[in-house]
Structure 1
Amino acid sequence: MVIFTITLALFVIGLFSTLLIHAGKLSDVVKQSIEVQVYLDFDLTQTQLARMKNIFSQKEYIAYLNQEPQVRFFSKEEGAKEFIQESGEDFMAFLGDNPLRDAYILNINPDFADSEHLKKIKAELEEIDGVYEVQYVASLIDSINQNLKKSALYCLASPAFWCWWLLY
């Protein structure tokens, strides 16, 4: 009976340790998918757009994938096509012009994917010449971080409880 109990306790510890390791990897994947949208002023030249991409790419908080900074340009024409496709309404037909703005989509490094860092990033990006507005989904970021903390706490506390229960 003692051998069975110890074996079961070690199995539970191993199982929850494996879950904790994979939860950490999952947390990085989720945090890497956090995006910041940087909306630009109207009528910027191609040179100004290239300069802005270069500025964004050099920031320490930008995520990299295969040595490439995760900075993506999203034109107002792409935005209009996507809106028309999703809603089925051609807003440019009755407006006569495209009111949307060009934007850069920035993927954030997981080390900077918390509310405090993102507020500083937003303030810093809004000071750049040619930037109209910076947006990110703050409530989603807070929710992700709270859920990751809860799951890590659960994975750490569960083996201790089960081992205590098995041994006593």
Structure 2
Amino acid sequence: MSVIEQGSPRKKTKSVYISTVISIALVLLMTGLLGLILVHAKNLSKYVKENIVLNVIVNDNVNEGDVLSLQKDFEKDPYVLRTEYVSKELAAKNLKEDLGEDFVEYLGHNPLLPSIDIYMKEQYANTDSIQPFIEKISKSSRVKEVVYQESLIDMVNKNIRIIGIVVLAFTVILLIIAIALINNTIRLAIYSQRFLIKSMQLIGATKNFIRKPYILYGIIHGLIGALISILLLIFTLQFAQKQIPELVFLRNWYEFGAIFLIVVILGILISGLSTYFAVTKYLRAKSHSLYR
């Protein structure tokens, strides 16, 4: 540090370093926020797909034991995530709650049939996979019909694809901007040290000797900036979950941890490389060009 600070006031040097760290932290914060949006979008897509339900209506003459046996057969299928058995009584209760009145008492009997709700695995929650599955299970004599919202499934998959493409494109653009901003910030910081760099070179210091402290502190600044951005990301995440409690269902700390790790790696890598190239530029520069 003492090598770098020679030739410039301590306060000015600290000010440059602090502004560099803050700039890196803010840029990494934006990158991390986009990463969190990507994770939430991915988890939301998975949540929506895995909650698309196929209602398998069972014939009225099938006893409960056979229905439960049929349910177990469905659960063994590789396409199926989980199933729920809905008895006639439970179906009547649910419909009564939806209607707000007791239709069974009005009709004098329960016209509803037992059913099995099937929830597909994420990768199979599309029309191309669901149609063959329905054809297969419909062959059972115990199954009366299978009801599902085909248009909803198509719309969900279409919108998810569009959103995925848009977010991916935005991610690439923001990453390029982030690299450019951090690089420019570090170049400006090194610019204030250009005379010191050239002076050390003129008195015989090797290029690696000159680069080493700058790169080291560049890496440290990148790490500090990354840690600051991670703290801000955690605060933002907690605040968002308080404002939108439903986000808790999309929370995945393993994926969040991966994003935080990527932020740290980006901070260190971009800062270190930018410092290397910035210092190298002034090592190669002619003395008279430093005044430009």
Sort the TM-score into its range (normalised by shorter chain): 0.7 to 0.9
| Structure showing greater relative contact order (alpha-carbon pairs closer than 8 Å, 6 or more residues apart) | 1
TM-superposed deviation, 1:40: 0.3
Greater fraction helix: 2
Cα distance, 1:38 vs structure 2: 0.5
Provide structure 2 residue ranges, at least 5 long, that are not aligned to the other structure: 1-19, 181-292
Does the residue aligned with 1:77 lie in a helix, a strand or coil?
helix
Residue 113 of structure 1 corresponds to 125
Amino acid at match of 2:129: H
Q: Any unmatched runs of 5+ in structure 1?
A: 64-69
2-structure distance, mates of 1:86, 1:50 = 26
Shift of 1:76: 1.2
CA positional deviation for 1:14: 4.9
CA distance, structure 2, for counterparts of residue 140 and residue 155 of structure 1: 22
Q: 2:162 matched to 1:144?
A: no
Q: Which of 57, 79, 83 is equivalent to 1:71? A: 83
Q: Counterparts of 1:55-66 in structure 2 under 5 Å?
A: 55-63=73-81
In structure 1, how many angstroms separate the alpha carbons of the residues matched to 2:85 and 2:173? 50
Written as runs of structure 1 = structure 2, the 5 A alignment for 1:1-168 is 14-63=32-81, 70-162=82-174
TM-score (norm 2): 0.48
Structure with the greater alpha carbon radius of gyration: 2
Aligned-CA RMSD value: 2.6
Indicate how the Cα distance of structure 1 residues 83 and 158 shifts in structure 2: closer, same or farther if over 3 A, else same: same
Separation of aligned partners in 2, 1:23 and 1:55: 33
Q: 1:163 to 1:95 in 2, by over 3 A?
A: closer
Question: Contact between 2:83 and 2:116, CA under 8 Å: does it hold in 1?
Answer: yes
Equivalences, count: 159
What CA deviation, in whole Å up to 9, does each residue of 1:100-156 have, x standing for no partner?
Answer: 100011111111011111112221221112000101122221221112111111111
Give 3-state SS (helix, strand or coil) of 1:157's partner: helix
- Cα deviation 1:24-47 (Å, max 9, x = unaligned): 222212211111110000121233
- Of 157-166 and 128-137, more deviation after overlay is shown by 157-166
